[in-house]
Structure 1
Amino acid sequence: MTGRLVHTGQVVLDLVLAVPALPPRGGDVLASSTNLLPGGGFNVMAAAARSGARVLYAGSHGTGGFGDLARTALAAEDVELAHEPTPGMDTGVVVVLVDAAGERTFATGTGAEGRLTSLDRVRPEKDDVVYVTGYSLLHEANRSALLAWLPRLPGSTVLFDPGPLVAEIDPGALRATLSTVDILSCNTREADVLGELPPVAVVRDGAKGCQVHEHGRTTDVPGFAVDAVDTNGAGDTHCGVLAAELLRGSTLLDAAVRANAAAALSVTRPGPATAPDRAPIDRLLTRDGP
């Protein structure tokens, strides 16, 4: 493995509260548990790092307590930082209310991660995989920085995950981004929103696995049977491990098999950043085969 995963997205802190139900307007409700966890782009980077990839976080991060927590979590995964903390601004936080049925409701407070002014100091190599998320295109500053930077890449592989808010992305910005993309990674709903897919795409379909589209040829890559506990973050795990395997020189099909296995294992534990390292993936592949 010679290249790196260069992640241009956003790391936030997730304040996760388990509640019996959402409170009525103006009301209150007691949470049965409260957790403050790194989230957003952290999940993809952790998944890639645990599969052996070198990872560079090219996004911005704040100077306050949330920024400190984000940097501590990134350091624990051996993720390098491309930028110094943004002065006078903290990393953002997402309040996540999880009701008794497992449904998640979000409220996002954007911080330094949504105000990236430039990527000029980030210089990927040809053998790097550059990860781009649709969330970046929803922040004016990040979008401008990204669209100015992507066309200047030296032949790095661009992996684009449009994310669940793909329908909210400015169509012009989306077209401009897709024109630079080598591999699209999304779920079936996001693929439906996009309509026409680029020549190379991986479309995730939950427990069923994924489909790999390569220049007019479509291959079904089945998933792995597990007892799911929490599906939060499975797509991030899939994307991170897919990138890590591409960096190891695997074909897209082989990388998708391993990404399916990693995503399956990630849902057997509660929490968003539950990507396994290489050994459990190896064991699952040995048990079930590709």
Structure 2
Amino acid sequence: MSVVVVGSANRDFVYRVPRIPSPGETVLATDAAPHAGGKGANQAIAAARAGASVEFITALGSDADGDVLAHELSQAGVLLHARRVDAPTGTAFVTVAQSGENAIVVNSGANAHLVEVTAVERDIIAASDFLLVQLETPLETVVEAATVARAAETVVVLNAAPICSLPERLLAIVDVLIVNEHEAIALARDLSGHRMPGETLSVDAAHDIAITLREAVPAVIITLGANGSIVLNRDMGDGPAAHVPAFRATPVDTTGAGDTFCGALVAALARGEDLVDAAQFASAAGALSVQRPGAAASIPVRAEIDALVGSLGRSRRG
């Protein structure tokens, strides 16, 4: 089965620092390097490396950064459909602390020009089995792509990041929603109008918020970092959400881990895995990615992911 990703592509400039600088503070980097990035590109590469047949609709500038990204996407096995526009390719400034945590500033550049889905792009979306979208490109484009997908009975997967207020017409056509704990809190607050707990979630609190989000979409996955993820869909009825534990990992760089999770999850769904098994596969992919530097550069291939999932199975049997 095929996957089409509609979204952003950036050239990331990554600086490794002892700690994320505070306002007004200057810190000296220990290393600096450019990498492929952007949520759309990361997720497309993750899905391709996880074994899916992937096409990627994006916008790149007519510049050297655009040429580099086009080459790296092709090398990853992604079939690229890129608008080359009269704007600089999107860039991101990423600082990565020794703990693996990061802080990111994005300049959208060409990504802001991904507007009004073309006839050719509509055909690509309609011919696919799964559409994966995020929110680093104009929201109207996300809604339009999802509308085309729904009309063609293509499964719509939305990673609601970076979080914003989502129109009802988009939520009404989403099949699977993927959010982290911060995004889940913000979205549940927006949908319910009620105050939500804190900025982080326990597994039990994530379960309660997943129930709220399931009122808007058929299936919800909330990622909780080292606490794994919560999976809940309407087929589970009144039963509890599934908790998928995280794989143990010592993080080197968490940049792109969420994108790796999303791409791997859709690849697993595309080959017929159910949502819980797909989340476990995606969790393994994310655990592998945080142990390597860079966003796209850190994304594992399917054999690595399968080996990690298999090792968990062996330990359970033992």
Same fold, TM-score > 0.5, yes or no: yes
Unpaired stretches in structure 1, ≥5 consecutive residues: 137-141
Task: Report the residue type matching 1:242 in the other structure.
Answer: L
Unpaired stretches in structure 2, ≥5 consecutive residues: 189-211
> 2: CA distance between counterparts of 1:107 and 1:127?
32
User: Contact 2:160 / 2:179 at 8 angstroms: preserved in 1?
Assistant: yes
> 1: CA distance between counterparts of 2:141 and 2:41?
20
> 2: CA distance between counterparts of 1:155 and 1:242?
19
| Residue 58 (structure 1) shift | 1.1
What secondary structure, in the 3-state scheme, does the structure 1 residue paired with 2:158 have?
Answer: strand
User: Contact 1:65 / 1:90 at 8 angstroms: preserved in 2?
Assistant: no
User: Contact 2:16 / 2:29 at 8 angstroms: preserved in 1?
Assistant: yes
What secondary structure, in the 3-state scheme, does the structure 1 residue paired with 2:58 have?
Answer: coil
C-alpha change, 1:78 and 1:189, in structure 2 (3 Å) is same
C-alpha change, 1:108 and 1:149, in structure 2 (3 Å) is closer
Q: Which residue of 2 aligns with 1:97?
A: 95
Task: Report the residue type matching 2:96 in the other structure.
Answer: V
> 2: CA distance between counterparts of 1:108 and 1:224?
29
Q: Which residue of 1 aligns with 2:231?
A: 212
1:277 aligns with 2:301: yes
Aligned partner (choices 262, 271, 281) of residue 248 of structure 1 = 271
**Identical columns (%):** 34
TM-score (norm 2): 0.80
| Residue 97 (structure 1) shift | 2.6
C-alpha change, 1:65 and 1:207, in structure 2 (3 Å) is same
Q: Which residue of 1 aligns with 2:254?
A: 231
1:74 aligns with 2:73: yes
1:43 aligns with 2:36: no
CA RMSD of aligned residues (A): 2.2
Task: Report the residue type matching 1:118 in the other structure.
Answer: E
| Residue 110 (structure 1) shift | 2.1
User: Contact 1:23 / 1:29 at 8 angstroms: preserved in 2?
Assistant: no
TM-score (norm 1): 0.87
User: Contact 1:135 / 1:162 at 8 angstroms: preserved in 2?
Assistant: no
Q: Which residue of 2 aligns with 1:263?
A: 286
What secondary structure, in the 3-state scheme, does the structure 2 residue paired with 1:243 have?
Answer: helix
C-alpha change, 1:28 and 1:275, in structure 2 (3 Å) is closer
What secondary structure, in the 3-state scheme, does the structure 2 residue paired with 1:113 have?
Answer: helix
What secondary structure, in the 3-state scheme, does the structure 1 residue paired with 2:294 have?
Answer: coil
User: Contact 2:129 / 2:270 at 8 angstroms: preserved in 1?
Assistant: yes
C-alpha change, 1:235 and 1:24, in structure 2 (3 Å) is closer
1:202 aligns with 2:212: no
Deviation track 1:203-247 (CA, whole Å, cap 9, x = no partner) reads 111122211101144111222223333222221111111000111
Task: Report the residue type matching 1:47 in the other structure.
Answer: A
C-alpha change, 1:105 and 1:73, in structure 2 (3 Å) is same
> 1: CA distance between counterparts of 2:295 and 2:183?
20
User: Contact 2:49 / 2:77 at 8 angstroms: preserved in 1?
Assistant: no
Q: Which residue of 1 aligns with 2:167?
A: 174
